[in-house]
Chains A and B, each alone.
Chain A
Amino acid sequence: MIETIIFYVFAVTTVVSACAVVTVRNPVHAALFLVLTFFTSAVIWMTLEAEFLAISLVLVYVGAVMVLFIFVVMMLDINVARMREGFVRHLPLGLAVAVIMLGIMLSVVTSDVFFMDVGSEPVARAADYSNTKALGGVLYTDYVFAFEIAAVILLVAIIAAISLTLRKRGKTKYQSPAAQISVRKADRLRIVKMPSSEE
């Protein structure tokens, strides 16, 4: 009973905040609603006994990815009125994308894979069952190659992102910490003897 209440409270919050992400005008508010959506989804995953995934969703998406996202959105000077101008012009393309996505989702959800008679019903585990351990076990034995490939792809993406930002700009000033540390008094300071100006 209590699980049902928790589910409905957080499911409604998820749906409402997900709608708010695309309807609110202020982009910072939209990003914050996205954070709320992630957070409530994590709670729903928690009720599904997927503790590890729920906590990593909060840790990775809420705690790191969205922080950077908001960081960028806050720095942008977005003119809301200008953004709304192209609404009618972009409407056909947007609608087409929406219809295609809806079709794909419906085809997945209504396919046989998600019906109970295909697989057995998931059993509820005892409180001392650690699905973190179970997930680790499966990830590093059965799916180790897929896991490694994903890691390599991520590494390539990291290197690509860094190399994109590495461009030479003439006016940028750099600091060399090694040079800063090795500076001695004699390099910077010159003591000059001056005759006193007293009469």
Chain B
Amino acid sequence: MIGESWIPEFLMPIWEWLHEYVQYTIFSGVKALIILLPLFIVVAYYTYAERKVIGYMQVRKGPNRVGPKGLLQPFADMFKLMFKEIIIPTNSNRYLFIIAPIITFAPAMAAWAVIPFTDTLVFADINAGLLYILAMTSVGVYGVIIAGWASNSKYALLGAMRSAAQIVAYEIAMGFALVGVLMVGGSLNLGEIVAKQSGGIGHWFFIPLLPLFFVYLISGVAETNRAPFDVAEGESEIVAGFHVEYSGMTFAVFFLAEYANMILIAMLCSLLFFGGWLSPVPELAGDSIGWLFGKTAFFMLLLLWFRATFPRYRYDQIMRLGWKVLLPVTIFWLAVEGVAVYFKIGPWFG
């Protein structure tokens, strides 16, 4: 992706003087920035897209005042949040209160390390990429729990409790859905899973794994605490849930993590079930990173669409759906897949 040839001539002596590990750290830092800076911009415009899309779905115009067609609205919001005071509630746990948004944010960013954008463009091409993503997304719940507890507020604690129960419940269904992907893909490496789907739209995993795809998408929405599963911040019941006491930048960090996680779920959906950067008809158009972004954008739109369409689930309904519907469906489909793998059915299990 980037090499030493990119370094200007006059800096070369300094570069060579640096220790090998320092060079490696600088390279990794630059690579991480190349992934994360565009991610931040996408997050900023995703919030704008959310307000516009939902606005049009509800026959409103959405933000249209700052800049042409309201395009500078995300920056206006960002500066507003940056200059607001961070209020720490009385009798709250000071350190944990500040650490909580960071704990949510860090795993949300770290998960992006193993995402492949094309067959060569990947930051960390590790063997257990799928497991790593599962582990990272499951750590994010601590930010929510700690925020709820450290805020010293009833609403925040209620939101944190709801969120903890919900995330633990849906993580299991999500994990089992990914076991299905693993059975077809034969690898935990995301790049290899995509490579296994090559050969046109008929080879993509969403066909043999359709139930698991729906389970994954639904639990992805639940994991990111988005509508219709947003009981953790249900504003009609518990104000804003776990981040009710947060203001300014601390709130912005929660916000950033939530949207980065949504984009991650959308990207994983397109990588694991819809062939990532592979072209649907390889005879007509080649594989490119554009396909991945297009597919991801579609799933990102889907997440907004859900929010504009569905009313919020009641808490007991969420638990019922997670444990009594999604989990049995995944386990049943794993058995079906076992048979399909044994008899090598279709182009997928060959």
Contacts and interface: CB of A to CB of B under 8 A. Distances in A.
Are A and B co-members of a single complex? yes
Interface in B104-148: 126-128, 131-132, 134-135, 138-139, 141-142, 145-146
Residue with the highest number of chain A CB atoms closer than 10 Å, among B135, B138, B165, B316: B135
B127 A132 contact: yes
B88 to A, nearest CB: 18
Given A51-B128, A177-B320, A71 B135 contact: no
A52 interface: yes
B141 A63 contact: yes
B142 A132 contact: no
A27 B316 CA distance: 29
A52 B139 contact: no
Interface stretch (A54-62, A109-117, A146-154, A183-191): A54-62
Given A51-B127, A52-B128, A71-B145, A63 B316 contact: no
A59 B134 contact: yes
B128 A64 contact: no
Given A51-B126, A175-B316, A71 B171 contact: no
Contacts of B215: none
Nearest to A66: B142
Q: Which of under 10, 10 to 19, 20 to 34, or 35 or more describes the interface residues of A?
A: 20 to 34
Interface core residue of B131, B134, B157 (most chain A CB under 10 Å)? B131
Q: Most chain-A Cβ atoms within 10 A of its Cβ — which of B96, B139, B160, B320? A: B139
Contacts of B149: 28, 70, 74
A51 B167 CA distance: 24
A35 B142 contact: yes
Interface in B312-326: 316-317, 320
B316 A59 contact: no
B168 A67 contact: yes
Nearest to A177: B320
A133 to B, nearest CB: 8
Given A28-B149, A55-B128, A68 B168 contact: yes
A47 interface: no
A65 to B, nearest CB: 10
A74 B162 CA distance: 13
Contacts of A55: 128, 131-132, 135
B138 A71 contact: no
Contacts of B21: 1-2
Contacts of A132: 127-128, 131, 188
A20 interface: no
A56 B316 contact: no
Contacts of A18: none
Nearest to B316: A175
Interface string B163-196: 0110110010000000000000000100000000
A64 B126 contact: no
A62 B139 contact: yes
A71 B126 CA distance: 33
Interface of B: 21, 96, 126-128, 131-132, 134-135, 138-139, 141-142, 145-146, 149, 157, 160-161, 164-165, 167-168, 171, 188, 316-317, 320
26 contacts: A1-B21, A32-B96, A35-B142, A51-B126, A52-B131, A55-B128, A55-B135, A56-B135, A58-B135, A62-B142, A63-B134, A63-B135, A64-B168, A67-B167, A67-B168, A68-B164, A68-B168, A71-B161, A74-B161, A75-B161, A128-B127, A130-B128, A130-B188, A131-B127, A132-B127, A177-B317
- Leading 6 A-B pairs by shortest Cβ distance: A63-B138, A58-B135, A59-B135, A130-B127, A55-B131, A55-B135
Interface of A: 1-2, 28, 32, 35, 39, 51-52, 55-56, 58-59, 62-64, 67-68, 70-71, 74-75, 128, 130-132, 175, 177
